[in-house]
Amino acid sequence: MFHLMLGLPVLVILVIVISILLFGLFALIASLVGGASTAALVKNKLSRRLLLTGFAILSLTGLLPLLPFIMAYISVPFNYVTAAVMVMLISVAVLAVVGIRFSRAIKNKLGKTALTILFCIILIFAIFLTVLAPIIGNFLLSL
C-alpha cells in the first residue's frame, strides 16, 4: 500500500495536467477548423465577422491554458507569463467589444439580444480575470 501513496499523487497531477493540455489543444484545433470553414463557406458578411470573432475568442481561450507550459518549455521567467496572460485577456475583452458592436447590426431581435448577452458575459469574465491575473501571479511568485 505504501507504493500507492507514493505514486497516486503523481498520477493525479499528471491526469490534471494532461486534461488541461488537451482542452487547450482541442480548443485551438476547433477554432482553426471553424475559422477556416467560416471563411470558406459563409457568404453573409455580418455572419462571417461574428463567427470569426467568436473563433478568435475561442482560440485565445484555448491558448490561455497552454501558455504557462509553452513559456516553461522555452524557459521564460514567470513574470512574463503573467504579462502575457494579461495581454491575451485584454485581447479577449477587445474582441468581445467588437462582437457586441457587430451583433448590434443583426435584424432579428432575439438573435441580437442573445449575442449581445453572450459577448457581454465574455467581456465581464475577461475583465474580471485581467484584474485577478496579477494577484494570482504575485501569490504564485511568493511561494
**143 residues of the chain, pLDDT tens digit each:** 666 677 777 788 888 888 888 888 888 888 888 888 887 888 888 888 988 899 999 899 888 888 888 888 888 887 788 888 899 999 999 999 999 999 999 999 999 999 999 999 999 999 999 999 888 877 877 77
- List Cα–Cα distances, 62 to 56, 72, 93, 115, in angstroms: 10, 17, 15, 21
Give this prediction's pTM. Answer: 0.82
Decide if 115 contacts 103 (C-beta within 8 A): yes
